[in-house]
């Protein structure tokens, strides 16, 4: 029986550019070594391996060294995204979330996740943008299955609303006004609404 283990350094060495590099993978692993997590794609179930587990490991490694999350996403799967939100909300290590270009849909909800955690700071750049909207869902199946899915979706939307109201300066009046719209915001608006703490 063979036991195969690789250190992060060995992984980095194995994917170092030799010709035409896969620079995305290279940069991702290189940044992990520096306690930086890069989320630069649509949110999917792969976020468990690419962000959630690394973040849990860094938070529990006993060093207490700060962690940075670089966020640039058009959104995606809310169930996978909220798994990352749940971890950030409880994190014990200092974390800075950087909105690099766009935090749309689920991405903006991730950006809000540290609002009540004093260990988390969220920053953006002057030309960063955010998007808040109700999202979309495709349903198929029997009439009962579609109804059950629709009912659960309504319940989940209520939970998301509660989350937004408690993790930003968005109040009930503004939420009702923007709920069914594509609500785009620039850096100043994100700061005003308490989504980011600082524009850098």
CB contact at 8 A, 169 and 192: yes
* 184 lies in some domain: yes
166-179: average pLDDT: 94
The CA distance from 156 to 118, in Å, is: 26
* 169 lies in some domain: no
How many C-beta atoms surround the C-beta of residue 170 within 10 A? 20
* Per-residue exposure over 85-113, b if at least 16 CB sit within 10 Å of its own CB, e if not: bebbbebebebbbbbebbbbbbbbbbbbb
* 188 lies in some domain: yes
Radius of gyration of the chain (CA): 19
> Is 60 exceeded by the pLDDT of residue 1?
no
Average pLDDT for the chain: 89
Q: What is the pLDDT of residue 152?
A: 73
Backbone angles phi, psi at 132, to 5 degrees: -115, 125
Q: Does the predicted model carry a pTM greater than 0.95? A: no
Q: What is the CATH number of the domain that holds 84?
A: 3.90.226.10
More confident residue, 113 or 2: 113
* 40 lies in some domain: yes
* 161 lies in some domain: no
Burial of 132 (0-12, 13-18, 19+ CB in 10 A): buried
Mapped onto helix, strand or coil, the DSSP state of residue 187 is: helix
Q: Which domain holds residue 185?
A: 35-138+180-199
* 175 lies in some domain: no
How many C-beta atoms surround the C-beta of residue 155 within 10 A? 9
* 64 lies in some domain: yes
* 129 lies in some domain: yes
How many C-beta atoms surround the C-beta of residue 180 within 10 A? 9
Structure tokens that stand for 12 in this block: 């980095």
96 DSSP β-pair partners: 68, 121
Counting the structural domains of the chain, the total is: 1
109-157 residue pLDDT tens: 999 999 999 999 999 999 999 999 975 555 566 766 767 766 777 888 8
15-41 residue pLDDT tens: 565 665 678 888 898 999 999 999 999
């Amino acid at each position: 029986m063979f036991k195969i283990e690789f250190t992060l350094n060995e992984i980095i060495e194995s994917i170092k550019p030799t010709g035409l590099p896969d620079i995305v993978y290279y940069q991702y692993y290189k940044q992990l070594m520096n306690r930086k997590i890069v989320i630069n794609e649509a949110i999917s179930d792969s976020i468990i391996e690419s962000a959630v587990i690394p973040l849990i490991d860094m938070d529990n490694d006993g060093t207490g060294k700060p962690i940075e999350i670089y966020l640039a996403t058009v959104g995606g799967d809310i169930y996978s995204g909220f798994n990352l939100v749940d971890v950030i909300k409880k994190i014990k290590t200092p974390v800075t979330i950087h909105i690099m270009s766009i935090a749309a849909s689920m991405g903006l909800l991730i950006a809000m996740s540290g609002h009540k955690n004093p260990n988390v700071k969220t920053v953006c750049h002057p030309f960063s943008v955010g998007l808040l909207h109700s999202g979309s869902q495709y349903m198929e199946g029997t009439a009962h299955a579609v109804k059950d899915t629709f009912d659960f979706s309504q319940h989940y939307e209520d939970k998301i609303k509660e989350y937004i109201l408690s993790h930003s300066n968005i109040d009930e009046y503004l939420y009702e006004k923007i709920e069914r719209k594509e609500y785009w915001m620039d850096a100043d608006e994100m700061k005003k609404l308490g989504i980011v703490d600082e524009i850098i």
